[in-house]
Amino acid sequence: MQSADNDPELPLSGGHAGEPVAGWRGHLIDLVDGTGFRTTVVVIIVLNAIILGLQTTEEVNGAHLHILHSLDDYALGFFVVELSLRMLAHRGAFFRDGWSIFDFVVVSVALLPVGGGLEIFRVLRVLRIMRLVTVIPKLRKVVLAMLSALPGMNAALVLLAVVFYMFSVITTKLFGEQFPGLFGSIDNSLFTLFQIMTLESWASGIVRPVMHLHPHAPLVFVPFILLTAYGIVNLFVAMVVAAMSQVSQEEAEEHDAVIQDLAQEVRKLRVEIRELRDEREQK
């Protein structure tokens, strides 16, 4: 068995497990990787996110500002102790886990001195709520599906960029002179087209005013909406759904493989038990 000094792979927040470690370090690993400790961490993360949200509320902020800051500092102190225990337990393996590195960076940023425009970095502590993804299987499945779908989205992203650039040039040349705020430049046109793709006030706020001077405007905007909002965007959704189906299928296959292995072991045990019974009867 590999000794603790050789830095074995250890159970981490990302779900990786390795060889057990004896002694005080083994007890510390059992503590920081235990269900109770992780549940406490998740509860503190959620409470800290609520505190950060309350700090933005004018009524609560004005009356209980010092209390909220104290609770925020206590939460930060808990996070520092938590990370210190995990680094002491896992040592180098801690920095080979993506979520652990994420926690370390977020807490380190929160420890930066306040003032000089650095207060914004302390708010990034709320990002730690993303660790809930590691403890909720369904969320983890969605994240894995999205990550696995990213390579297949490259072609769709290129197609979307080509469509956006083509229509931004067309709208700038056709409507830029009369509507400089919307289509006065390529940058303005790209942002306006993005708003149109989201279908946010695209008719009343953009297309109808343009139609007063350019009655042919729907011949430009309607095909753009069909290509982007109803075409390429749905293609992205289809890729993610397909990736989720693939992840679910792979998990089902792994589950079936485990069941088959267990069934095979049970059959072997039955054969061994039968042989032992036969030997005992012969004696």
Which tens digits make up the pLDDT trace of 53-110? 887 777 765 667 788 888 888 888 888 898 888 888 888 888 887 778 877 887 887 7
Which tens digits make up the pLDDT trace of 180-201? 999 999 999 999 999 999 988 8
Count of alpha carbons within 13 angstroms of residue 174, beta-carbon side: 19
Cβ atoms within 10 Å, residue 57:
12
Question: Which residues, at least 6 apart from 171, have a Cβ–Cβ distance to it below 8 Å?
Answer: 183, 189, 192, 193, 220
Residue 90: both structure tokens together:
């896992």
Task: For each of the domains in the chain, give its residue range(s) and CATH number, in order of start.
Answer: 4-135 (1.20.120.350), 152-277 (1.10.287.70)
pLDDT of residue 245: 81
The burial of 9, by beta-carbon neighbours within 10 Å (0-12 exposed, 13-18 middle, 19 or more buried), is given as middle
pTM of the model: 0.59
Confidence label for 5 from pLDDT (cuts 50, 70 and 90) = very low
pLDDT > 90 in the chain, percent: 22
